Amino acid sequence: MSAVTATVHVARIEDDASVRAVRGLRVAQDQYRFVGDITFNLGDSLRDPMSEAMAVWADGAVIGFYRLDFAPNAVAGRAFERPSVGLRAFVIDQSQQGRGYGTQAMAACCADLRRRHPDRALLVLTVNCSNLAALAAYRKAGFVDTDELYRGGSAGPQHLMLHHLQPQAPPDPER
């Protein structure tokens, strides 16, 4: 596969053309258990007032999808000390994988969150322990593994990973 030559951006899904494009995305059979049914995830996120359905764009075409969840316990089954948003169902179309779009999409996602939701300090996600390619990709995109396992997923235990959207306060030397 060739490297990314297009500029990647993300946008909230708000029109029928974007919905149709996301429904046309495909993943390899072995990835399906990690991302789930794209059409279901899209519809569920469009109906949920605590979620945002997001499209990943490159060269004027939708190449990916993800869901942002703003409920405090949506991703890890618990709230965090800092205001967070959960990332779920992230997918880059099978025909576009291996070109660096995922890393660019995560950078665009974080920039979008900082702009539209400046109150959120953390982007939270879980990654199945056996999904080594995704673990490496999220680390490359700046996520940190908390060394905490989430065991609520249907496909087995998952690593809990965080991306700091806002700078962390330095430790208090008086403590």
Residue 112 belongs to domain with CATH number: 3.40.630.30
Q: Taking Cα atoms as reference points, which of 4, 71, 9, 16 lies closest to residue 42?
A: 16
Q: How far is CA 145 from CA 128, 131, 148, 163, in A?
A: 12, 14, 8, 9
* Matching residue, tokens 């996600």: 125
Tokens describing residue 133 = 């390619």
Residue 175 lies in a domain: no
The pLDDT profile of the chain, 175 residues, written as one tens digit per residue, is 556 567 899 999 999 999 999 999 998 877 766 778 899 999 999 999 999 999 999 999 999 999 999 998 888 888 888 999 999 999 999 989 888 899 999 999 999 999 999 999 999 998 888 888 888 889 998 999 998 887 766 667 888 999 999 876 555 556 5
**Cross-strand partners of 86:** 69, 124
Number of domains in the chain: 1
| Domain assignment present for 2 | no
What is the reported pLDDT for 79?
Answer: 86
d(CA 134, CA 112): 21
Give CA angle at 19 (16, 24), nearest 5°. Answer: 130
Q: Could you tell me the residue range of the domain that residue 56 belongs to?
A: 8-164
Using a 10 angstrom Cβ sphere, with 0-12 exposed, 13-18 middle and 19 or more buried, the burial of residue 117 is middle
Token pair of 19 as six digits: 């919905």
Whether 139 and 167 have beta carbons less than 8 Å apart is answered as no
Q: Tell me whether residue 170 is in a domain.
A: no
- Which residue type, as a one-letter code, is found at position 43? G
The answer to whether residue 136 sits within a structural domain is yes
Asked if residue 1 is part of any domain, the answer here is: no
Residue 107 lies in a domain: yes
| 17: enclosing H helix or E strand | helix 16-23
Integer Cα distance of 175 and 169 in angstroms: 14
Per the confidence metrics, is the pTM higher than 0.85? yes
* 80 Cβ contact list (under 8 Å, min separation 6): 72, 122, 124, 162
- Tell me, yes or no, whether 39 lies in a domain: yes
> What per-residue confidence (pLDDT) applies to 116?
97
